[in-house]
Amino acid sequence: MSDMLHEAKAVQRRERSDAAQNRQRLLTLARQLFAEQGVEATSMNEIAQVARLGPGTLYRHFAHKGELCEALLMEDNAAFWERIDTALAHSGEPALNQLGWLIDELLHLIESHVPLLAAIQRSQGSSVYYQGPFYGTLHAHLSSLLARAVEQGEAVDLNIAFTADAIYAAITPPLFLFQRTGRQFSLEQISAGMRRLFVDGLRVHAEEH
């Protein structure tokens, strides 16, 4: 009986290892295909074919393209948020100045990940997208800086959750892409507009004038 149990556990370990390897293979090949031909032009079936895995294996790991894109985004985000946390922890700047810096960093992140973010939003819909890990982490960081700014007397009293939502609403992938390509705004112009609204516009002195 113990031999059978030992063998069953060994099989489970192999299956978990195979599943982890398959998942990483799918992510690696998806990233490669997206870079070569674009996110929109790459189908889930094509990813499975290039990986030489059945569609069932692909969909067991990722129910739709949005989930796959979010997994890729979170891989990149791990290093991004680690760098952000380290920088904020060692910064002696006031909270609103840190918020302005974070907005600039987010703009560069979005600039380099618009196709992934747009695919996530299309696949999941707004209600699910705003409950996902990317937005949850982003909202927590924005809320923390806004709360500190209010507590330290830098910013006017405000609805922190609403303001954090509003900051990201102003740079969601569809609007960001329209501003960059349709309006021909530079990153510097978008950053200046964001800072005017959500940094300078929240300062206590802004309310007094």
**Averaged pLDDT, groups of 10, the chain, 209 residues long:** 49 59 88 88 89 85 85 82 88 93 93 82 67 84 96 95 95 88 95 96 71
Please report the pLDDT score of residue 120 as a whole number.
78
Please report the pLDDT score of residue 17 as a whole number.
59
Please report the pLDDT score of residue 100 as a whole number.
96
Fold of the domain spanning 70-208: Tetracycline Repressor; domain 2 (1.10.357)
Burial class (CB within 10 angstroms; exposed 0-12, middle 13-18, buried 19+) of 98: buried
Q: Yes or no: say if 198 and 103 are a contact pair by the CB < 8 Å rule.
A: yes
Please report the pLDDT score of residue 14 as a whole number.
52
Side chain identity at 38, as an amino acid letter?
Answer: G
pTM of the model: 0.73
Q: Which superfamily does CATH assign the domain made up of 1-62 to?
A: Homeodomain-like (1.10.10.60)
Please report the pLDDT score of residue 96 as a whole number.
95
Please report the pLDDT score of residue 124 as a whole number.
64
Nearest alpha carbon to residue 168 among 197, 125, 209, 189:
197
Please report the pLDDT score of residue 155 as a whole number.
96
Please report the pLDDT score of residue 81 as a whole number.
87
- 1-62 and 70-208 agree in CATH topology: no
Going by C-beta distance under 8 Å and a sequence separation of 6 or more, which residues neighbour residue 158?
A: 146, 150, 202
Please report the pLDDT score of residue 130 as a whole number.
75
Please report the pLDDT score of residue 125 as a whole number.
62
Q: Name the residue ranges covered by the structural domains of the chain.
A: 1-62, 70-208
Q: Yes or no: say if 110 and 167 are a contact pair by the CB < 8 Å rule.
A: no
